[in-house]
């Protein structure tokens, strides 16, 4: 067959168009399809109280989409129930990446559930926002992982540093450490012991106990016998409640000036309501409390919207602890996507490493491990709590911020028994 030059040119043009068409079509479609953010949530199982975080993320999604989305694309959440089980995590995240083709990942809740997904994101070079994942990136050192919570640099050692700063400033020298035998509590206790050593304090008691321990009388008696000045506790909700009740039943001794630090539980409305005035005097961590030094119109608006959803759904009625961090995760993602002009993991990560992000709870900058360069974990003291009305915790003055100094809203009442009104 004779092919003229003109005919050859036409055929070559048509062939090029045929080859390029799918790419043009896909590219156009990609520009219009939603940005998909995927992650697992503990909708059932022992960690199901953390699903309040999804409400925070949904509020952020609604806000972003109302403003036209990111890069002109709507944001879509792809979530699965991990049943609070580590075993579910690898398959969920493989599905999110390989089948659902999500653009951006959000970690499961906490260090334990996130552990299996960390090597995965490193291997796949994926961007991920870490949700309450203390020190999760210390092992794999992914440069595309960013903490949504302000644990600070070297969070493993330093996240509860504020407790020890207060202890030292109050003249405490003899420190006791008590922790549950679970990952978060063990890591926190190890960090506490490192801080004690670094500050030249004396560790006079250290003890771990099995999770869900319901009676602390023997432990508290042993602890009291060592006459500590401060007691650093790393516990989970059921044991936090039993411990606080044990304080009233057995006592802790007059030597103690400071008690608490890393107790999970007194952040949630149900625990606050159950314990009521028994909380007075305890110094414990939180990520947000409605103190004048911290609250602002944007956070108040967020919490009002959260509560309108959470209360009918029987989620945490206050929403101070978990939901704001999920909103912050959304703000970080939005800043990275808008700033880099891309949903590519590498571009987003590079932008976040180089730029600060303004969030509802303050400005975040990140170090090489994706930790906030400035620790913003609050150490607050319960003061003036009366009865079991949960609404009193919406008022300023019930959880007074003692540390960090920039957010300080009141002074420590000590010794501990005086602060408890004993």
Q: Which residues bind another protein (CB under 8 A)?
A: 44-46, 48-49, 51-52, 181, 207-210, 212-215, 217-219, 221-222, 225, 237-238, 241-242, 245-246, 248-250, 268-271, 273-274, 278, 313-317, 388
- Show the tokens assigned to 211: 């999770």
**Minimal distance in Å, beta carbon 345 to another protein?**
32
Which residue, 94 or 208, is less far from another protein as judged by CB? 208
Which residue, 26 or 214, is less far from another protein as judged by CB? 214
Query: What letters, b where the CB count within 10 A reaches 16 and e where it falls short, cover 70-80?
Result: beebebbbbbb
**Minimal distance in Å, beta carbon 275 to another protein?**
9
Integer CA distances (angstroms), 294 to 152, 269, 393, in order: 18, 19, 14
**Minimal distance in Å, beta carbon 242 to another protein?**
5
**Minimal distance in Å, beta carbon 346 to another protein?**
37
**Minimal distance in Å, beta carbon 277 to another protein?**
9
Supply φ then ψ for residue 107, to 5 degrees.
Answer: -75, 165
Which residue, 51 or 161, is less far from another protein as judged by CB? 51
Cβ-contact 372, 147 below 8 angstroms: yes
**Minimal distance in Å, beta carbon 262 to another protein?**
17
Supply φ then ψ for residue 147, to 5 degrees.
Answer: -75, 135
How many residues comprise the chain? 422
Which residue, 316 or 371, is less far from another protein as judged by CB? 316
**Minimal distance in Å, beta carbon 326 to another protein?**
15
Which residue, 127 or 216, is less far from another protein as judged by CB? 216
**Minimal distance in Å, beta carbon 55 to another protein?**
12
The DSSP bridge partners found for residue 310 are none
**Minimal distance in Å, beta carbon 271 to another protein?**
7
**Minimal distance in Å, beta carbon 222 to another protein?**
7
Which residue, 373 or 388, is less far from another protein as judged by CB? 388
The contacts of residue 188 (CB under 8 Å, 6+ apart) are 134, 159, 160, 179, 234, 261, 262
Which residue, 388 or 395, is less far from another protein as judged by CB? 388
**What distance in Å separates the CA atoms of residue 147 and residue 131, rounded to the nearest whole number?**
7
Which residue, 142 or 188, is less far from another protein as judged by CB? 188
Which residue, 97 or 277, is less far from another protein as judged by CB? 277
**What distance in Å separates the CA atoms of residue 375 and residue 354, rounded to the nearest whole number?**
18
Cβ-contact 249, 206 below 8 angstroms: no
**Minimal distance in Å, beta carbon 415 to another protein?**
19
Q: Of 160, 223, 227, 171, nearest to 194 (Cα)?
A: 160
Which residue, 208 or 355, is less far from another protein as judged by CB? 208
- Show the tokens assigned to 351: 């932008």
Which residue, 30 or 225, is less far from another protein as judged by CB? 225
């Amino acid at each position: 067959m004779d092919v003229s030059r003109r005919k050859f040119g036409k055929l070559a043009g048509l062939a090029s168009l045929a080859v390029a068409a799918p790419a043009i079509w896909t590219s156009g479609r990609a520009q219009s399809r939603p940005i998909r953010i995927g992650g697992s949530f503990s909708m059932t199982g022992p960690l199901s109280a953390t699903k309040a975080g999804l409400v925070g993320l949904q509020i952020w999604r609604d806000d972003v989409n109302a403003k036209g989305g990111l890069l002109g694309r709507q944001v879509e959440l792809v979530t699965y129930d991990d049943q609070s089980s580590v075993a579910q995590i690898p398959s969920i995240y493989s599905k999110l990446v390989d089948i659902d083709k999500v653009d951006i990942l959000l970690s499961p809740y906490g260090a334990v559930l996130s552990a299996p997904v960390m090597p995965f994101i490193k291997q796949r070079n994926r961007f991920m926002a870490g949700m309450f994942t203390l020190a999760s990136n210390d092992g794999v050192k992914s440069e595309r992982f960013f903490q949504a919570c302000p644990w600070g640099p070297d969070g493993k050692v330093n996240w509860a540093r504020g407790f020890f700063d207060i202890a030292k400033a109050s003249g405490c020298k003899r420190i006791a450490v008590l922790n549950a035998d679970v990952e978060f509590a063990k890591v926190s206790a190890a960090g506490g012991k490192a801080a004690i050593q670094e500050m030249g304090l004396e560790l006079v008691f250290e003890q771990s106990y099995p999770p869900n321990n319901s009676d602390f009388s023997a432990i508290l008696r042993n602890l009291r016998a060592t006459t500590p000045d401060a007691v650093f506790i790393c516990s989970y909700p059921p044991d936090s409640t039993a411990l606080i009740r044990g304080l009233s039943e057995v006592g802790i001794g007059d030597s103690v000036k400071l008690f608490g630090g890393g107790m999970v539980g007194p952040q949630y409305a149900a625990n606050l309501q159950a314990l009521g005035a028994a909380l007075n005097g305890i110094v414990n961590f939180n990520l947000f409390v409605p103190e004048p030094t911290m609250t602002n119109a944007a956070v108040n608006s967020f919490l009002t919207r959260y509560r309108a959803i959470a209360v009918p759904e029987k989620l945490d009625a206050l929403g101070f602890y978990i939901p704001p961090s999920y909103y912050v995760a959304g703000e970080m993602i939005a800043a990275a996507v808008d700033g880099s002009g891309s949903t590519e993991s590498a571009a987003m990560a590079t932008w976040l490493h180089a730029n600060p992000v303004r969030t509802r709870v303050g400005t975040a900058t990140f170090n090489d491990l994706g930790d906030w360069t400035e620790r913003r974990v609050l150490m607050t003291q319960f003061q003036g709590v009366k009865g079991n009305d949960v609404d009193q915790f919406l008022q300023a003055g019930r959880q007074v911020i003692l540390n960090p100094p920039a957010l300080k809203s009141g002074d420590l009442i000590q010794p501990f028994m005086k602060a408890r009104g004993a």
